Amino acid sequence: MQEIFEKVRAIIAEKKGVDPSSVLITDSFEDLNMDSLDSVELISELEDHFQVNIPNQELLQIKTVKEAVESLSKLVTKG
Amino acid sequence: MQGRRVVVTGLGIISALGNSVDEVWDNIVQCKSGIGPLDHSIYPLPIKINNVAQVKNYEPTAHFEKKDLDMLDRFAQYCLYAARQAVNQAGIAFTPELGARTAVITGTSIGGEFTHDKALSDLYLEKKGRAHPFTIPMIMPNAGASQVSMAYGLTGPAYTVSTACASSNHALGNAFWLVRNGICDVALTGGSETPLTFGYLKSWEAIRVVAPDTCRPFSKNRQGMILGEGGAMMVIETLESAKARGARILAEITGFGMTSDASHITKPSQTGAEHAMINALKDAGLQPSDIDYINAHGTGTMVNDSMEIAAIKNVFGDHARELSVSSTKSLHGHVLGGTSALEAVITTLAVMNDVLPPTANFQEHDPECDLDIVPNASRPKQIRHALSNSFAFGGLNAVVVFSKYKDS
């Protein structure tokens, strides 16, 4: 879980040009000034990194850092 | 807006619903969708797109000489194939004089994608030292318009509009204005798209808006769009020209409106959509209460469909409950830059026949889409005037008004 959170943070920090430590597990994508395209880009990078696939319908429901981490954890643990 | 009256006298279409106007209309009336499984075996890697709306029973050599096919990407073939039907129906003979007064305006989002894919595969994968010498004239998005102009000796203005999923409506609107304003007397207009290439399908897969099963516009459980291929063309001309030829008038084009959202590259703005519809009504000199049917953009994505219905409610007020709205993308798929050409042909037929085309695959009522969306079955209704909506990625909106032809 922590490893996934760190990766999510790192990607968002890089995209948004902020310090990774400023991205919190409690942040929503909106808090981070991320729109729907940004979230598709983030999830696609995470899918590549962790070699998993999140179905479109599930992806559309992910609106916070916590939901992204949980969604990935589920799949990474399974694999 | 004052100007010369512009009428439709010929239609042509090739799509997943059929390769002639009659076949397509028959399937629309019967609500038989052209969406089916994607043949994954022809692609080099897995694609997470299960279903598409593909043209069937089309063998290029049955319609074109081998020497001509060498210069025709599939998207340009569709333009020509549809243009032939439209010209035949219009019964128009192009003399050099008339050809000089005729425009060809087409829409496509990407142009010759099959040729492009092949060239890149030859170079990157096969390590061939050169691309095919015809690659450039086959890829160029204006190849369809140019091939049509060459086929009929049309020497008036010819060009191609590329505004993603609104391309053909922009093309049609431009052609309408050229004829109405006296720049030309006749126009062949429409568009085509052939998006089922490996690279393009993978790109649509990545943006996560394609439905895993089918396109269910306005249904609460909608999950996105279904990609389709095809093309459609129409002959439009001044009323005077049509009457002088003794041509059968199918419908009248009375208005065109366009706006740009200037907000987000993919997320549509309700205001942009509303103003495009308002501009089209103003251009036609019509009131909202004159409209009986809207052929919606209706992609089947969560965001578009609820935005579009909200925009319609704002523009039409109480009359929104009286008019009918359907998305025929549920039947022929989303043909991207060519889609509004298909929808223009279908809207013309709806106005001619007083039949509402259905929204297929509808399953679950969505309180955000609570207008008459003509679910799962076509039905008769008198249609005086109809809108055909297109709202593209990039925030580009184009709306065309079709009216029942009346002599006075």
Q: List the CATH code of the domain at A2-78.
A: 1.10.1200.10
User: What pLDDT shows up at residue B265?
Assistant: 94
* Digit-coded pLDDT (tens) for B90-108: 999 999 999 999 999 999 9
CB contact under 8 A, B207 and A60: no
Chain A residues with beta carbon closer than 8 angstroms to that of B303? 36
User: What pLDDT shows up at residue A79?
Assistant: 53
Task: Name B272's Cβ contacts closer than 8 Å, sequence gap at least 6.
Answer: B259, B260, B261, B262, B263, B391, B395, B397
Q: Which CATH architecture has domain B255-403?
A: 3-Layer(aba) Sandwich (3.40)
Nearest to A56 among B212, B265, B303 (CB): B212
Nearest to A56 among B224, B264, B266 (CB): B224
The residues of chain B that CATH labels 3.40.47.10 are 7-245, 255-403
ipTM score assigned to the predicted complex: 0.83
The distance of A23 to chain B (nearest Cα, Å) reads 24
Q: Which residue has the tokens 């030309």?
A: B184
User: What pLDDT shows up at residue A60?
Assistant: 86
Angle at B176 between CA B306 and CA B140, to 5 degrees: 80
**Domain edges within chain A:** 2-78
Task: Name B211's Cβ contacts closer than 8 Å, sequence gap at least 6.
Answer: B51, B222, B223, B224, B225, B226, B300
Mean pLDDT of chain B: 97
Size of interface A-B (CB pairs under 8 A): 25
CB contact under 8 A, B207 and A40: yes
Q: Which CATH architecture has domain B7-245?
A: 3-Layer(aba) Sandwich (3.40)
CB contact under 8 A, A40 and B208: yes
* Digit-coded pLDDT (tens) for B257-281: 999 999 999 999 999 999 999 999 9
B208 touches chain A (CB under 8 A): yes
CB contact under 8 A, A56 and B266: no
CB contact under 8 A, B208 and A56: yes
The distance of A35 to chain B (nearest Cα, Å) reads 9
Chain B residues with beta carbon closer than 8 angstroms to that of A59? 208
* Digit-coded pLDDT (tens) for B291-317: 999 999 999 999 999 999 999 999 999
The distance of A1 to chain B (nearest Cα, Å) reads 25
